Chains A and B, each alone.
Chain A
Amino acid sequence: MRGIGPMRRYSAFAVAREAARYHSGWERAWRSPEPKKRYDVIIVGAGGHGLATAYYLGKNFGITNVAILEKGWLGGGNTGRNTTIIRSNYLQDPSAAIYEKARSLYETMSQDLNYNVMFSPRGVLMLAQTEHEVRGYKRTAHANLLQGVETEFVSPQRVKELVPIISLDGPRYPVLGGLWQARGGTGRHDAVAWGYARACSDMGMDILQKCEVTGIRQEGGKVVGVDTTKGTIGCDKLGIVVAGHSGVLAAMAGFRLPIESVALQALVSEPIKPCMDIVVMANTVHGYMSQSDKGEMVIGGGADGYNNYTQRGSFHHIEETVRALVETFPMISRLKMLRQWGGIVDMTGDRSPILSKTPVEGMFINCGWGTGGFKAIPGSGWGMAELMAKGSSPLTEEFGLNRFAEGRFVDESVAAGVAH
C-alpha cells in the first residue's frame, strides 16, 4: 500500500482558497487511527528521529505498513523542547557524515514534506575564548575540509561583523576567533515533527498517540511485537527511538545501554526586534544564543550534573548560562527571562549516538543523541531506515552498540578537553 490518497498540498493558493470559506475545508494534518493487529515495522517514539525513520522507510524503501507509537503527543519529547540549532561541523568522520547528511536534507525539507519547517541557514559561530579552543577549532576546520563540511576559522573582527551585539574583549575570556559554519542555522522544531507526521500519515502509516509501549514480545530471540496501553501489536521489525527513555525500553527487552539520562535546560527572553542574525555558541563560558523569528532570544547551556527524569532541572544551570551570556552579550542584561524548561537527554560516554542492531533479532535502536540531536533528525532517519531495511548503512556503521565493547569510540566531547 502506497498512501491513502494524495494529501491536499499546502500553498499560498490553498490558503487563499480556504480564506474564502473561513478555513473550514482544511483536512487533518495526520489521521488518528486505531491500531491494527500487526505491522511490518513498529517505531516506538514519535519524536523527530522516530518519525524521520518511518518517513525514509516509506520514501526510500517502500515500506509503509508501519506504525509509530507515541506515549504522549507526537513531537512532545526533546524534539519539541530543543533550541533548534542545526550544524554539522563535528570533528570525527562518522559524525560529520551523518550530521552533514542531515543538514543537507534540511535544506530541502520544506519542499520534500510540503510543510514549511523554516530551515534558516543563518550561520553558526562557535567562539574560541582560550588558546586551547583556538587550536581545537582549527583542528575541526581542517577535519571539516576533508569531510566536505564547509567551515572556516574566523578572526575576532569577523566575529564582530557577524554579530555586532557581542562583546569581544570581556575582561575574563576575550574572543580570540571562532569556527564559522555559514550553512548551519535553525529550524522550527515542531514543524519538523508535524511535517514528517503528515507525510508518514499520507503514506498510510499509522501514528498512534497516547499509546505507550509497556513490554516487548520476543520469540526465540526475535522480536514479534509490543505490549502497549492500547493492546498488543505485532511486528516483524521494531525500532526503538525514544531518546531519554531508551534505557527503560532496553530493559523491557532484557539488555542494558551505556546511556545516562540528565535534564538539559533552555530558556527564552521576551521578544524584541531583530538584533542577532546568527547562532553563537560560547563553550568556554557555557552558553549559546540565537534569536527566534518571534524575536525571543533562545538560550541554552550545560546539562544538570545528576541523572533524573523530571524534565525540570535546577535553577543553578540557568544562572550559569545566563551569566555566561550576559558576559558575552552585555545588552541582554536588560532583557527578561520569559520561560525556562528542560528535557531529558540521553547521553553516551563518547557523546555520539547509537544507531544499531540489538541483541534481540529484528529490534533496532536509535538513541544517544544527547544534547544535540535535533540537527541530526533527517540524517538519522535516513541512516536508520537503511539499517532497518537492509541490515547496514554507511551512515550508521560506526555508531553500533559494539563500539563500547570494542573501545572504538566516536568521541565528540573532544572540544571540552582541558589544556595546561
Chain B
Amino acid sequence: MSTRLKEGGRRIDRAKQVEFTFNGKRMSGFEGDTLAAALLANDQVMMGRSFKYHRPRGVVASGAEEPNALVNLGEGGKFEPNQRATTTEIFDGLTAASQNHWPSLDFDVGAINAKLSRFLPAGFYYKTFMFPRFAWKHLYEPIVRQSAGLGRVPKDRDADTYEHYYAFFDVVVIGGGVAGLMAAKSAGEAGAKVLLMEQTPHWGGRAPVDGGEVDGKPVEDFVAATVAALEAMGNVTLRTRMMGAGVYDHGYMLGYQRLRDHAPAAKGPRHRLWRIRAGRIVTATGAIERPLSFAGNDVPGVMLASAVRDYVVDYGVSPGDRVVVVTNNDDAYRTAIAVKAAGLSVPAILDARAGGGGALAEEAKAQGIRVLNGMGVAKVHGKKRVEGVAVCRQAGEGAVEEEIGCDVVAMSGGWSPVVHLWSHCGGKLVWNDKYAMFQPNPEASPTGADGEGFVLAAGVAAGAQTDTDFEGLGLYETLRTAVRAGTQAAAELGFKTRDVALPTVSEHDEVAMEPVWLMPQGAGAKLRMKAWLDYQNDVKVSDVQLAAREGYESVEHTKRYTTLGMATDQGKLSNINGLATLANALGEAIPQVGTTTFRPPYTPISMGAIAGEARAETFQPLRRTPMHDWHEENGAHWEPVGQWRRPYCYPRKGESHAAAVAREVMATRDSLGLLDASTLGKLVVKGPDAGKFLDMLYTNMMSTLKPGRCRYGLMCSENGFLIDDGVVARIDEDTFLCHTTTGGAERIHAHMEEWLQTEWWDWQVYVANVTEQYAQIAVVGPNARKVLEKLTDEDISAESLPFMAWKDVTLDGVNSRVYRISFSGELSYEIAVPASVGRAFWGRLLQAGEEYGVTPYGTEALHVMRAEKGFIMIGDETDGTVIPQDLGLNWAISKKKDDYLGKRAQARSFMDNPDRWQLVGLETVDGSALPDGAYAVAEGTNANGQRNVQGRVTSTYFSPTLGKGIAMGLVHKGPDRMGEVLDFPGTDGKTYKAKIVDPVFYDRDGEKQNV
C-alpha cells in the first residue's frame, strides 16, 4: 500500500483538501500536492503503460525527469496529453487519465507485446515486416502506429491563450535551488540586472529535503532568508514555475513560464514564453539521480531513492510500508533515514560497494537499519507492484543469497549534473571519473558574439571541482561555486564585485561512490533482458548490447537503433547508464563513446506557447488599405495577397464570382471602373545618384526620364530573370517614385538596400518605402477624364496630361498626384492621395462617378483586362525562369547602357538564344478557356520517358469583352508560329486544342488608352 502519512509534508497544506479524478475514480489530495504525490497517497502506484511492451509503469521520479507517470489531463479545449504527474500541481476538479492502454490501465491487451518481448528486441522491425511488399503500409504499420503513440489526441480547439514576453537581463540564473539563489544574490549585489527562474513552485531545490545546516540553522531558513533578500533587491526578478527551456546563440534564451497550469480557472494566458537576451547565463540546474540496472527495475514500486525521500518529506506520502534501499553511494542512506523517521520500515540497505558507506551509513546503522555491503538486487519480484527482492553479490552473476519482502525499492546509481542548458549552444563536457559523470568543462563554455563564454555553471550542475580541498557535491561546494559563478558573471559584464563571505555549513562527510552499470556486474543474458535502461521506450541493457554487437557502435547509432533516450524525458534518466553499457560492450572508455546531442527544450514546451498570441486574425499582420472597410461593407470577396487583403470581386446578391467579374470588366470598358491600387509598392529613390542607381536596377534607361514623365520598367535578378515590373515616375531631378508589384514592395525594397549597402555604398542614394503613406486609386474607362474634371478646374486634358505623364492636381480640395498610366488598356489615371483621406476620396469618386455607373472592380477583373491587352503579370508570365526577352519585352531593355543587373547573365549561351519558349496569345479552337497551367505536347518522349513538351499556358481567362476564352503562354519559338494549333492535355482527361495568336487581344493600336 502507498498511503498518506499521519504527519509531515513540507509542501502540502493539510487544511486544504483538493478533489480530483483519476481514470474516472474520485480521489482527494491536499493543496501543494503534485498529481504523482496525490496518486501515491491514494494507493495508485501504477500510473501508466510503457511505449513498446505496454508494461505496467509506476512513478519513478519526483520531478521533470519522470519517464513513466504521464497522463491525459483535463477535458475539451483544456485537454492535454502526456502531462507528467510529477510536475502537475493538483487543483479542485482536475481530471486525469492514464495512457497507452486498451481497454484499461489494469488490463491492457497491448501487454501481449511484453510476453513476446523476446521476439521484439531492439531494431526487430528493421529485420521483419518486409513481406509481402505492400503489407508494411497496409497491415503492419497500422498495427505499429496504433500500439505506439502515448497520449490521446486533442480534439477541440485550444481554449487557452498564450503570450510572448521579451526581456533583457545582465545575468539570468536558471534554477532556484540554493546554488541559484546564491548565484543570483552574488550577481545582484554587484548591481547586475538579474533574472532567477525556478521550474517548480518552490525555492530551495533539494537542499531542504537533503538536510544540513547553514550558519547553524536548517537549510530551509537559509533559503527563506535568501529569497527575502533577493525580493528586496530592485534589480532582481524572481520567477517560479518558469523553466529555462533553451539556450541559443549569442546569449539568447527561452524561459517557459507556466502561469495557470495549476489554476486553470484563473484569467489570463496559460503560458508565457520569455524570449530573453542575457549577458551571462548561470546554469544552477542541479543534478538528476540515476537508476540502477538490475532485473525488474521497472516494476511499479521501484523508484529513485531521492524520489522516495521527496514523497515522504515533501508530501507526507508513504510509497510503501517496506522500503529496500539499493545504492552505490552515500546519498541514498538519507532516504533510508527519512523513511525510517516517518515510521516506515527499511528491511535492508543494499550497498553495492564492498567497503560500504561513510558517516550517513553509520547513522543508518545506529538507527537499527540493516546494511549489506557488496550486495545488490538480483531480481525484483512482482508484476504490477513490487513484492520483494532477491539479494545477490554485486561481484557475482546473480546467485540469490536472500529474499527480502518489500513493496518499494529505492535505488540510486549516483547523480548526473543537469548539463542540458550548458550544452544547447555548444558548451563542452568533461568526464569526471571519480563521480562517474559528465560535467561542464568551464574552459569550453558556449561562446557569444564577442568570442567569450556566456554560460557559467553553478552548484551541483557544475560537477565536482578540482580547485578545492572540499571534495564532492556537498552543500558547501554548492554555495562556493554559486558565489563564484554569480560574481564572475557580473564581473565579466563590467560590474564591480566584492568578495562575498560564504556562510558556514555543517554537513555529512561522504565516501566516494562507485560506478555500477550493471547489477550484478556479471548478470547473464536472462537478467540483462529484464534490466531496463529507458523505461518509457522499453530499452534494456540487452538491447544496447545487441546494437553494439551488430555494429551500431556510434552512440548515435545505438540511440537510434534502440530508441534509447528518445522518449519524452529525452533520456534524463537513461542516457548515462546507456552510454556506460555501450562503452562496456565496446570495451571503450565512456568519454570516448561520448554523449548524444543535447537539444532544446529542456523539457517539452507547449506549441501554444511557441505560437504565442499569433493565431487566427492575428496569425500574421493583416494589412488593410485605407478603403478596406468600404470593400468589406460592399460585399468584397477577399483574396489574400501576401499580408494584404484585396477584393477579388464584389459579387452582388445571388451573383456568381464569374458573373461579377464579367460585369466589372464590361462596366469599366464601357464607362467607368474604380480599383483600389493602394497595395502596389511605392518606393521613393532619391539622391544625386538616383538616376545612375535606377539605370543599374532596371533594364530600361531611367536616368533620361524627364521630370513629370513615367516609364514602365523591368527589374531582373543577377541571374537575368525578370523579378518585378512597374511604372517609374520622375518627380524631380533627384527623386524617382518606383511602383512595384503588390507582392514585390518589401522584396524590392530589400533588394535595393542590399545593393546599396553591399556594393554601391558610396553612391548618394536612399530608398524609402512609402507604400502605406498613400491611398492609390485607379480611375479607369472612357469616362475617367470626365469624372476627374468634375473634381478640379485644373487642366488635365490629353495635351496637358498625356499618356505616361503625371501631375500634381488638387482634386476636390485634396492634394493628389495623378499618374496617367494604364494596366487595362483604357483611358486611366492612378491617383495617389494621402492615406488619411483615402477613404473619403474614394467616396467622392464614387459620388462623382455615379452618373457614369461607376463600378468598383477587384483583382480578377484587373487580371482579365490586362490579359486582354496582352500585358504580362509578374508571377504568372514569369516564374523565376523567364527573361524579358522571352516576353517580347526587348523594347524595354536599353541598348545604350553599359550594364544593368542581369545583363551579363542574359548573355549566357542558353539565354542569348532564339531557341527559347516565348510569349504568345492562345485561343482555343472552340472558344472555351484553356485550363490553368496546361502544357503543349510535342512528338515523342525524352530520354527519361517523359512526354516532350513545347510550351505552356501562363494565364488563362474567359474574356467577357471578347466573349471567349483567351490565354497567354510561352511556346517554343512561339512568335514565329502564328496560327499553328497545339494540343494541351488537361488533367481532366480532355485534350484542348489552341491556336497561336498575337498576345494582344484587345485594342491592338492602343487607341483607347491614348485618347
Q: How far is the CB of A20 from chain B (nearest CB, A)?
A: 9
A157 at interface by CB-CB < 8 Å: no
CB pair A15–B908 under 8 Å, yes or no, is: no
Interface mask (B120-150 → A, CB under 8 Å = 1, otherwise 0): 0100111111110100110001101110111
Q: How far is the CB of B739 from chain A (nearest CB, A)?
A: 12
A107 at interface by CB-CB < 8 Å: yes
Contact of B639 (CB < 8 Å), options: A131, A312, A322, A332: A131
Scan residues 95-153 of chain A and give those whose CB is less than 8 A from a CB of chain B: 96-97, 101, 107-108, 110-111, 114-116, 118-122, 129-132, 134-136, 138-143, 145-148, 152-153
B372 at interface by CB-CB < 8 Å: no
CB contacts (< 8 Å) of A116 on chain B: these are 125-130, 136
**Which of A6-14, A49-57, A244-252, A359-367 lies at the binding interface?**
A6-14
Cα-based distance from A188 to B158 in the complex (angstroms): 31
B822 at interface by CB-CB < 8 Å: no
| Shortest Cβ distance from B425 into A: residue | A312
Q: How far is the CB of B570 from chain A (nearest CB, A)?
A: 7
Interface residues of B (CB under 8 A from A): 51, 79-82, 118-119, 121, 124-131, 133, 136-137, 141-142, 144-146, 148-158, 246, 248-249, 252, 254, 275, 425-426, 525-526, 529, 542, 546, 549-554, 556-557, 560-561, 563, 568, 570, 597, 599-601, 604-608, 610-612, 614-617, 619-620, 622, 639-642, 648, 719-720, 741-744, 747, 859, 862-863, 873-876, 878-881, 905-906, 908-911, 931-935, 937, 942-947, 949, 952-953, 985-987
CB pair A394–B125 under 8 Å, yes or no, is: no
A26 at interface by CB-CB < 8 Å: yes
A293 at interface by CB-CB < 8 Å: yes
CB pair A29–B551 under 8 Å, yes or no, is: yes
Q: How far is the CB of A123 from chain B (nearest CB, A)?
A: 10
Task: Tell whether A147 pairs with B946 under 8 Å between CB atoms, given A116-B128, A407-B905, A409-B881.
Answer: yes
Cα-based distance from A274 to B82 in the complex (angstroms): 14
A40 at interface by CB-CB < 8 Å: no
Q: How far is the CB of A120 from chain B (nearest CB, A)?
A: 5
Q: How far is the CB of B740 from chain A (nearest CB, A)?
A: 10
| Shortest Cβ distance from B746 into A: residue | A418
CB pair A312–B879 under 8 Å, yes or no, is: no
Q: How far is the CB of A12 from chain B (nearest CB, A)?
A: 5
| Shortest Cβ distance from A393 into B: residue | B943
CB pair A271–B148 under 8 Å, yes or no, is: yes
Please name 29 pairs of A and B residues whose Cβ atoms are closer than 8 Å in the assembled complex, sorted by A: A12-B127, A15-B128, A23-B121, A30-B551, A115-B126, A116-B127, A120-B137, A130-B641, A139-B934, A139-B953, A140-B933, A145-B987, A171-B619, A172-B619, A172-B640, A190-B560, A270-B81, A270-B82, A285-B619, A295-B145, A295-B150, A315-B246, A331-B155, A335-B154, A339-B599, A341-B597, A394-B942, A405-B908, A411-B879
Contact of B556 (CB < 8 Å), options: A80, A97, A140, A414: A80
CB contacts (< 8 Å) of B146 on chain A: these are 273-274
Task: Tell whether A15 pairs with B124 under 8 Å between CB atoms, given A93-B944, A116-B130.
Answer: yes
Cα-based distance from A293 to B129 in the complex (angstroms): 14
A401 at interface by CB-CB < 8 Å: no
Cα-based distance from A14 to B127 in the complex (angstroms): 8
CB contacts (< 8 Å) of A194 on chain B: these are 126, 552, 561
Cα-based distance from A191 to B126 in the complex (angstroms): 7
CB pair B881–A11 under 8 Å, yes or no, is: no
CB pair B551–A32 under 8 Å, yes or no, is: yes
Contact of A270 (CB < 8 Å), options: B150, B426, B552, B616: B150
| Shortest Cβ distance from B616 into A: residue | A171
CB pair B879–A407 under 8 Å, yes or no, is: no
CB contacts (< 8 Å) of B549 on chain A: these are 24, 26, 28
Interface residues of A (CB under 8 A from B): 10-12, 14-16, 18-19, 22-24, 26-32, 72-73, 75-76, 80, 93-94, 96-97, 101, 107-108, 110-111, 114-116, 118-122, 129-132, 134-136, 138-143, 145-148, 152-153, 165, 170-173, 185, 188, 190-191, 194-195, 209, 269-275, 284-285, 291, 293-295, 310, 312, 314-315, 318-319, 322-323, 325-327, 330-341, 349, 394-395, 397, 403, 405-409, 411, 413-414, 416-420
Q: Which one of A116, A310, A333, A337 has the greatest number of beta carbons of chain B within 10 Å?
A: A333
Cα-based distance from A291 to B252 in the complex (angstroms): 30
Task: Tell whether A336 pairs with B604 under 8 Å between CB atoms, given A28-B550, A411-B880.
Answer: yes
| Shortest Cβ distance from A395 into B: residue | B944
Contact of A142 (CB < 8 Å), options: B610, B620, B933: B933
CB contacts (< 8 Å) of B747 on chain A: these are 418
| Shortest Cβ distance from B118 into A: residue | A19
CB pair A273–B130 under 8 Å, yes or no, is: no
CB contacts (< 8 Å) of B119 on chain A: these are 15-16, 19
Interface of B is mostly: loop
Cα-based distance from A2 to B619 in the complex (angstroms): 59
CB pair B742–A420 under 8 Å, yes or no, is: yes
CB contacts (< 8 Å) of B945 on chain A: these are 97, 148
CB contacts (< 8 Å) of B910 on chain A: these are 403, 406-408
Known pairs A23-B121, A271-B51 / 6 extra A-B pairs, C-beta < 8 Å: A15-B121, A116-B130, A273-B146, A315-B275, A331-B156, A394-B942
CB pair A139–B933 under 8 Å, yes or no, is: yes
CB contacts (< 8 Å) of B150 on chain A: these are 270-273, 295
Task: Tell whether A152 pairs with B743 under 8 Å between CB atoms, given A23-B546, A140-B933.
Answer: no
CB pair B130–A29 under 8 Å, yes or no, is: no
Cα-based distance from A215 to B922 in the complex (angstroms): 56
Name the 5 nearest CB pairs between A and B, nearest first. A139-B933, A295-B149, A418-B743, A336-B604, A407-B908
Q: How far is the CB of B934 from chain A (nearest CB, A)?
A: 5
| Shortest Cβ distance from A315 into B: residue | B248
CB contacts (< 8 Å) of A332 on chain B: these are 154, 607
Q: How far is the CB of B455 from chain A (nearest CB, A)?
A: 14
CB pair A338–B946 under 8 Å, yes or no, is: no
Cα-based distance from A339 to B567 in the complex (angstroms): 10
Task: Tell whether A143 pairs with B935 under 8 Å between CB atoms, given A19-B119, A315-B254.
Answer: yes
CB contacts (< 8 Å) of A120 on chain B: these are 136-137, 141
CB contacts (< 8 Å) of B873 on chain A: these are 419-420
Q: How far is the CB of B865 from chain A (nearest CB, A)?
A: 13
Cα-based distance from A397 to B617 in the complex (angstroms): 48
Q: Which one of B554, B614, B874, B946 has the greatest number of beta carbons of chain A within 10 Å?
A: B946
| Shortest Cβ distance from B149 into A: residue | A295
Cα-based distance from A32 to B571 in the complex (angstroms): 28
CB pair A330–B986 under 8 Å, yes or no, is: no
CB pair B610–A334 under 8 Å, yes or no, is: no
Contact of B525 (CB < 8 Å), options: A24, A293, A319: A24
CB pair A418–B741 under 8 Å, yes or no, is: yes
Q: How far is the CB of A272 from chain B (nearest CB, A)?
A: 5
CB pair B151–A407 under 8 Å, yes or no, is: no
CB pair A135–B932 under 8 Å, yes or no, is: yes
Task: Tell whether A170 pairs with B616 under 8 Å between CB atoms, given A315-B252, A326-B608, A337-B610.
Answer: yes
CB pair B81–A108 under 8 Å, yes or no, is: no
| Shortest Cβ distance from A314 into B: residue | B248
CB pair B935–A142 under 8 Å, yes or no, is: yes
Task: Tell whether A111 pairs with B942 under 8 Å between CB atoms, given A340-B600, A414-B879.
Answer: no
Contact of A293 (CB < 8 Å), options: B79, B145, B425: B145
Q: Which one of B608, B862, B863 has the greatest number of beta carbons of chain A within 10 Å?
A: B608
Cα-based distance from A163 to B311 in the complex (angstroms): 44
CB contacts (< 8 Å) of B911 on chain A: these are 407
| Shortest Cβ distance from B137 into A: residue | A120
CB contacts (< 8 Å) of B425 on chain A: these are 312
Task: Tell whether A323 pairs with B611 under 8 Å between CB atoms, given A15-B127, A142-B987, A172-B617.
Answer: yes
CB contacts (< 8 Å) of B153 on chain A: these are 165, 272-275, 331
CB contacts (< 8 Å) of A141 on chain B: these are 933, 987
CB pair B154–A334 under 8 Å, yes or no, is: yes
CB contacts (< 8 Å) of B612 on chain A: these are 319, 323
Task: Tell whether A413 pairs with B611 under 8 Å between CB atoms, given A19-B119, A333-B606, A336-B604.
Answer: no
Task: Tell whether A394 pairs with B568 under 8 Å between CB atoms, given A319-B612, A411-B879, A418-B747.
Answer: no
| Shortest Cβ distance from B909 into A: residue | A406
